[in-house]
Structure 1
Amino acid sequence: MKLRCQIALLASAGIAGLASPLFAQQAAQQSVQPPAAAGPADIIVTAQRRAENLQDVPLAISVVDDRQLAASNITTIADIQFLTPGVNFNSNFGGGFNVRGVGTQSLLVTAEQSVGLVIDGVIQGLPEVSFAGPSYQSLTDIERIEVLKGPQGTLFGKNSSAGVIQIITKNPRLRERTMDATLSYGTDNEVKASATLNIPLGANAALRVNGIMQRRDGFVENRYNGRDLWGYQRYGVRAKLLFEPNDTLSFLLTGEYRRLKDDANGLWTLRNCGSGFSTFNPCALVAPYGIVAGPNNLATAVEGENYTRQTNKSVSLEATLETGIGTLTSITAFRDLLQPIAVDTDATPTRTYSYNQNISGGKQFSQEVRLNGDSGILTYTLGAFYYRATPFQKGINGGTLSYLPDSSDKILSTTAIGPGAGAGYPVDVRAKVKSWALFGQLEAEVVPGLTLIAGGRYTNDRVKQTIGYFDVGFICQTSYAFGEPCHPATGIPDPTTARTKADKFTYKLTARYDLTSRINVYVSYARGYKGPMISYPKGQPQEAVRPETSESWEAGIKSTLLDGLMTFNADIFKVKYNDFQGQQRIGTPPVYYYTTTNAGGLETKGVEADLSIRPTPRMQIAGSLAYIPTKFTEFAVQCYDQYTNPATPIGQCTYIQPGLPAGAPAQFNAAGYPLIYSPKWTYTLRGDYSIPVGNAMSLALHADWNYRSSTYGVVADKNSINKGYGLLNGQISFGREDGGWTVALFSRNLLDKYYIAGIFRTPFDAGAYGTTPLSTLGYSNIPTIDSGRTIGIKLDVSFGG
């Protein structure tokens, strides 16, 4: 690993050295300019699928630009949750982004997120269930990130019922030859290196190539073998080719390859000890290694494999044509995702459940055609969208379950998918998802100052899923431990296929009124929709999960003051969700499985505010606040009132959610409890100041503070509450004012605040059902790599212009 880092450092230095003569002449001709004095109001976004000033868009939007990303020194896209209030990332068991408290947590291959992710106009629809994080973590050369809050289905599609995170990377620039490179080194051998070349190809074309490498050592000690877990390596390369044959036509071809490797895959650490099950007790098994369960535990002892190996390949072509009726845009995209993962699920040095290896991923194709134009007072967007995906998941899951000795050449299956789950065979799930839509939006200033906007979308979804099983020889049904054959005499279960479909018309109505040329207010009403999926409960037929729908109200104000040097935006909102698609863990201890059902309804409401001011051309201060008290209006969760640390009140386990498999255990209606991974309060403060020091040099100071209040990790389980915390980041940089070179000293989590990403119930640590004395649930921590102070140094260089 050290050799790889040295090679990367030498390569970056070599590229810079070779590039210096190439760009020297242009660099010498550049004029020295101080940082731009443009006010915070000069931000252009594409939230309505066309370029507009942020302050003119009647929608709650948070924007993080390239300078903010660079100054904050975040290492993953998921960390934008620390830059934008109301945004959170759930890293546990099939989670993802939450906006205004709402997101999707599901392990189903046909599941889609409630928060849509769009990269350069392409929806990222394939499910990503790796605990190490999604494959887009290491994106670089970013122009800006737009967080669109609330349902955005009209213009962005069905998988945006809670919001959209839109990532826009930088495009090639015609007639410019430039090179930009960044190299940093920090705590735990954290290395981040990236380089970008912009090369003109004649007068009408340009090529932009970006490469990135990130790596860091682990921080969780595996005392079984002395290795540190949770380290990572990320690599990526993106190339963009822009061709503009004339003033009305342009083509942008993008190809990207990303690779992620880690050695933990989200492995947890023990927080509280439970009753174990049978002769298995996690806390007792790791005690000989000096491990004591607790909130600050950063040690484990596991003998099984833990890793993630993500590979993402994508290509897209965006063509734009200026016509007499508007701008016609076509985006054609293909993506291929492969995710082999493994996790030692028993979290001990035994083979109780240490063989949990899965390969998931799929391919997706999308085509969007859009026309943006205007006629008189009318501005319009019309479009069509088609999406096809083939997600899959193939897994081998099992262990001795403490019924077989660790030396056994066989392990017992714990497959919990579909009707053949009990036969002792690994599973192969294949799906086909097809969706098409027609959409449009009309905007008109009907009277001076009053603009009305109406948009609608018709979506048609088709989902097909087939579950098959296969034999690997060394894995058997559980009854093998009690003298039965390895597999039933009936052999490998026949594949089963299920289908579901849905269609929906959704819409959004908005009114904006300009109080002055710099202040406007707006109100909006929207109906949202998230498509159906197919669940596969253990030992049961596949079941269709109905679409999730939402109803949203929002009102806000956008103001630009002090001649454009200050902005203040605020909004209030309320969103109700019906047939919420929720994941829950059900079963009888010690055997559990995850399934996704129409768990009920939820409500999210709140207030958001953003303030930004530039008192001088060299100083900017900004702050954001979100107060979002969420709650379930209905959510059936399994009861645990037989335990000594009950997650639900004793005697209230009488609710049965319609649609669950026959024989499902008693349930508790979690109405009134908050959503998981949804803090009620979040806020950020940010300050930037540059000081000229002569000879065209400047000293720049940056600091940002973010805070989030406590959150639940498990629905209605007060033992899973993660305390609130605040993080301080800072950077001091020195360099040329024209950006030719800059050296910076940076710190993330400067105050060394320890925190964890979440709390959940430890697998195989819940005793047996109905025991006397009562059993106790065990809980585990999800560690996070920035839970300690990171200090580093960074060099940025730029040539050409």
Structure 2
Amino acid sequence: MSSKKLLARHMAAVTAAAALLPGPAGADTGAFELEEIVVTAQKREQNLQDVGISVTAIDSQAMSRAGIEDVSRLELVTPGVSYGFIGSDAKIAIRGANSNNTFADNSSIAGFFIDGVYRPRASQQSQAYFDVERIEVLKGPQGTLYGRNTFAGAVNLYTRRPDTEALSGGLKTSFSRFSKFTTEAFINAPVNDELALRFAINTKDSDGWIENRGDGEDYGQDDALNYRASLLWTPADNLEVLVRYTSLSEEGITAGIFAAEGICQPVNENGITDAFGRFVNCDNPYPGSDGDSFFDEPYEVATDVDAKRDNEEENITLDIGWDIGDSLTLRSITSYTEFDSEFDWDGDWSNVPGYVFYWDEEVESVTQEVQLSSDNDGPFTWTAGLYYSVDDIGFGFSQYRVAPFPFSDFADFQEIETTTKGAFFQGEYALTDTLRLIAGVRNNEEEKDTKTFAGASTDAGGDPLPGVNPTSLDGRPRDLYRYTLREDRSAVREFDIVTWKAGAEWDATDNVMVYGNVSTGFLSGGVNSDGSPFEQQESKAFEVGFKSRWADNTLQLNVAAYRNEFTNLTTQELIQLGGADVTITVNGGEIDAQGLEVELVWLPTEKWLISAGASFMDSEFGKFGVANPFEQANGVEQAFLDLKGDTPPWSPDMTLSVSVGYDIDLGDMGRLTPFLQTYYSDEYSTDDVVTYRTQRQDAYSKTDLRLIWTSLSEKLSAEVFIENAEDEEVLARTNVGGFDLVQSSYLYPRNYGVKFNYNF
């Protein structure tokens, strides 16, 4: 295999599946066409129509036309996927499994990989996308090839590589509602036939999209500077070396730690909070809070604290590919990542000073993966590999509470060293020219060494530490407080599990492939800040489907049916620890989900593009219990809610998406493309405690409209757009905190603006 073939693995044309938005066949016609969809979902280059798993692939052009700048809009083009958030944590849900619990030592149910490197924290999943080649969303457990925390799926982000072909560059700018101004630029510079450099930069600046009617700043302000420098070296025909350095800096005023704002409590006829209450109370329940809290008004708050956010990440990745003869390829991916995140938050959710929350998160991660793959030719193809990583993770919740509130300097910080080892093998054997069998296995080992520290704002003699004042702190508790190791709340835990996959693929015709498989996955266990452990969660998925093209390659139809079994699932419980309300993780039960997903792309003529996606899902809790977060449940005091038979959060019975585009030829003036995208979702819950009414999201629709002009040379384009034209107020996530406060966030409201793009 030559270096050209190595390059082809990364540079192949990719188009979307469920929301496919093909590029024009040529500038002279502006016609759409269905191209070959190339993915590396199974760690080798394959045509998507030949891959026997559910994958939605979205290239950079499709991302632009769908308004995808980060993870928040993937659900609009990916059947079976839903999205929520708190603070920086992405709350991805896939086929009935949800990421409601990403606090402290918990992970997302979907693994997130950038250029093959896993990011361990949910807050790393919400960072800006820039200079991206494609995104692949893999649905169903990916425990064999990907390993830990791909319990329900994986999201693979691939950034653009340098190339030695020619000097090129580009600039994108956009200006939209809330004075949001973004830029993205890149330059690709060949040095010679063997060496090329690429540099990309992304900036973002905006006002807040949640109005603060108190003394603090509006929430949701952005101030970001991100860049990536890449070097590609091909010293021989069978060897390539790719180095990437990425720096991300995202600051501003956050949209919350646990939520952006409070919403109304469910209460019974006696005015007592009740998980089954038929009435609502929209007052702030925090003792000492004062003034209008606007809990009944989305996108409005009244707080005095500037909710500052500071997320920083640096990553360097070394990717080496070596062709060993004509039949084997060896690949090594080595990476080092540092990630730090800081949040400040108003502890009483009101405009009264004296109560501030703080959240700190930091990661130092080293990963190494080695893959050995056979060539695609021959009856037996396979991929084997070894994986090793060490993640030093720290996170902590702190508060400083003074008059008019009772004094509290609670601080709790955990440090966890997680060592992960994996060995995997997956093979495919062709019994005939049309029938293939697939099997894979992975051994996973994980050790977590957890240390818990308690903090205080005074020294051993009880005197205030430097920077601690009667009314405020000159800094943050993580830097100012005195921390003491709590041996009774520290532990070492080991986890191991074997995950596997078995399946078959049958080429019914040249353009129709039928497949079926069963696969398993897991989500890491861990240790809470009070020292109590929780066990790893496990998943098993059965899937059958077909992938097809019809009508002279103008119609693509992919269908998948699945049944998922999720066991030993965790939920959250609110406890008292050191005089503060603290959330811990407990194993709660199981979920069974089954469904059908349809992805269609149709080009009735060369000028029209019509795509659609649909998800039909029946998901319910099996044996599953959660701690009752309210004073009462159904009028009777109890500490446990049995959710058996209820529908888990972020699991709508049906979602539908339709996209329509039409190319208008303007001759020498280029072309004009009106584009419409609409999305519908049935109602769903936004909290594990699905019994109370105010966490319920009603059915809704969102419609985007775009008008895109492209020059004849395709070097210049301009766009006007409106997103969420209905201005739907969609709950992102809900949970219950201290004093039965219902905390929530909403997805982005209506947005509109203009974009400009220039390439050379």
Contact 2:102 2:108 in 1 (8 A): no
Q: Which residue of 1 aligns with 2:667?
A: 694
Which of 554, 557, 570 does residue 568 from structure 1 map onto?
557
Q: Which residue of 1 aligns with 2:364?
A: 363
Secondary structure at 1:411's aligned position in 2? coil
Contact 1:250 1:320 in 2 (8 A): yes
Q: Which residue of 1 aligns with 2:92?
A: 97
1:388 aligns to 2:390 (yes or no): yes
State the distance in 2 between where 1:285 and 1:238 align: 48
Q: Which runs of 5+ in 2 are unaligned?
A: 1-25, 274-281, 464-482
Q: Which residue of 2 aligns with 1:112?
A: 107
How much does 1:738 deviate? 3.0
Q: Which residue of 1 aligns with 2:505?
A: 512
Identical aligned residues as a percent:
22
Any idea what the Cα deviations from partners look like across 1:670-706, whole Å, max 9, x if unmatched? Answer: 1112222222221211112211111151111211111
The size of the alignment, in residue pairs, is: 695
How much does 1:625 deviate? 0.4
Q: Which runs of 5+ in 1 are unaligned?
A: 1-30, 416-425, 478-490, 654-665, 767-777
State the distance in 2 between where 1:198 and 1:90 align: 36
Instruction: Check 1:474–1:553 CA distance in 2 against 1; reply closer, same or farther (3 A cut).
Output: same
Partner amino acid for 1:471?
A: A
State the distance in 2 between where 1:302 and 1:631 align: 38
Contact 1:223 1:289 in 2 (8 A): no
State the distance in 1 between where 2:287 and 2:208 align: 23
State the distance in 1 between where 2:752 and 2:93 align: 29
Which of 189, 197, 209 does residue 187 from structure 2 map onto?
197
Q: Which residue of 1 aligns with 2:408?
A: 412
Contact 2:626 2:642 in 1 (8 A): yes
State the distance in 1 between where 2:713 and 2:451 align: 58
How much does 1:525 deviate? 1.1
Bigger drift between 615-624 and 116-125 goes to: 615-624
Contact 2:626 2:641 in 1 (8 A): yes
Instruction: Check 1:231–1:285 CA distance in 2 against 1; reply closer, same or farther (3 A cut).
Output: farther
State the distance in 2 between where 1:518 and 1:391 align: 48
Instruction: Check 1:636–1:753 CA distance in 2 against 1; reply closer, same or farther (3 A cut).
Output: closer
1:242 aligns to 2:232 (yes or no): yes
Bigger drift between 106-115 and 146-155 goes to: 106-115
Instruction: Check 1:640–1:50 CA distance in 2 against 1; reply closer, same or farther (3 A cut).
Output: closer
Q: Which residue of 1 aligns with 2:261?
A: 269
Instruction: Check 1:499–1:226 CA distance in 2 against 1; reply closer, same or farther (3 A cut).
Output: closer
Contact 1:693 1:699 in 2 (8 A): yes
Q: How does 1:673-752 map to 2 (within 5 A)?
A: 673-695=646-668, 697-714=670-687, 715-719=689-693, 720-752=695-727
Instruction: Check 1:671–1:255 CA distance in 2 against 1; reply closer, same or farther (3 A cut).
Output: same
Q: Which residue of 1 aligns with 2:17?
A: none
1:427 aligns to 2:419 (yes or no): no
Secondary structure at 2:64's aligned position in 1? helix
How much does 1:651 deviate? 6.0
Q: Which residue of 2 aligns with 1:212?
A: 202
Identify the structure with the greater strand proportion.
2
State the distance in 1 between where 2:171 and 2:487 align: 52
Contact 2:289 2:351 in 1 (8 A): no
How much does 1:135 deviate? 5.9
Q: How does 1:145-184 map to 2 (within 5 A)?
A: 145-184=135-174
Which of 412, 435, 444 does residue 459 from structure 1 map onto?
444
Q: Which residue of 2 aligns with 1:144?
A: 134
How much does 1:791 deviate? 1.7
Any idea what the Cα deviations from partners look like across 1:561-610, whole Å, max 9, x if unmatched? Answer: 1222211011111111121133333569x964311122111112111010
State the distance in 1 between where 2:457 and 2:291 align: 33
Contact 2:451 2:486 in 1 (8 A): no
How much does 1:764 deviate? 4.1
Instruction: Check 1:219–1:265 CA distance in 2 against 1; reply closer, same or farther (3 A cut).
Output: closer
State the distance in 2 between where 1:677 and 1:503 align: 29
Any idea what the Cα deviations from partners look like across 1:193-250, whole Å, max 9, x if unmatched? Answer: 1111111111111111110111221122222227422221222001111111121000
How much does 1:35 deviate? 4.2
Q: Which residue of 1 aligns with 2:61?
A: 67
Instruction: Check 1:176–1:584 CA distance in 2 against 1; reply closer, same or farther (3 A cut).
Output: farther
Any idea what the Cα deviations from partners look like across 1:242-267, whole Å, max 9, x if unmatched? Answer: 11112100011001001111313425
Instruction: Check 1:245–1:34 CA distance in 2 against 1; reply closer, same or farther (3 A cut).
Output: farther
How much does 1:326 deviate? 1.0
TM-score, normalised relative to structure 1 = 0.82
Contact 2:216 2:304 in 1 (8 A): no
State the distance in 2 between where 1:681 and 1:437 align: 37
Bigger drift between 390-399 and 149-158 goes to: 390-399
Q: Which residue of 1 aligns with 2:34?
A: 39
Contact 1:281 1:765 in 2 (8 A): no
Q: Which residue of 1 aligns with 2:73?
A: 79
Contact 1:270 1:283 in 2 (8 A): no
How much does 1:332 deviate? 0.4
Q: Which residue of 2 aligns with 1:323?
A: 324
Contact 1:329 1:369 in 2 (8 A): yes
Any idea what the Cα deviations from partners look like across 1:129-151, whole Å, max 9, x if unmatched? Answer: 5xxxx465212111111111000
Instruction: Check 1:670–1:625 CA distance in 2 against 1; reply closer, same or farther (3 A cut).
Output: same
Q: Which residue of 2 aligns with 1:337?
A: 339
1:794 aligns to 2:755 (yes or no): yes
State the distance in 2 between where 1:38 and 1:448 align: 28
RMSD of the TM alignment (CA)? 2.8
Partner amino acid for 2:678?
A: W
State the distance in 1 between where 2:235 and 2:44 align: 22
How much does 1:306 deviate? 1.2
Instruction: Check 1:328–1:341 CA distance in 2 against 1; reply closer, same or farther (3 A cut).
Output: same
Q: How does 1:243-642 map to 2 (within 5 A)?
A: 243-266=233-256, 268-272=260-264, 282=284, 292-294=294-296, 296-324=297-325, 325-351=327-353, 354-374=355-375, 376-400=378-402, 404-405=403-404, 411-413=407-409, 415=410, 426-473=411-458, 494-496=486-488, 497-537=490-530, 542-586=531-575, 592-639=581-628, 642=631
1:233 aligns to 2:223 (yes or no): yes
State the distance in 2 between where 1:226 and 1:577 align: 43
How much does 1:45 deviate? 0.6
How much does 1:98 deviate? 1.5
Secondary structure at 2:319's aligned position in 1? strand
Partner amino acid for 1:779?
A: V
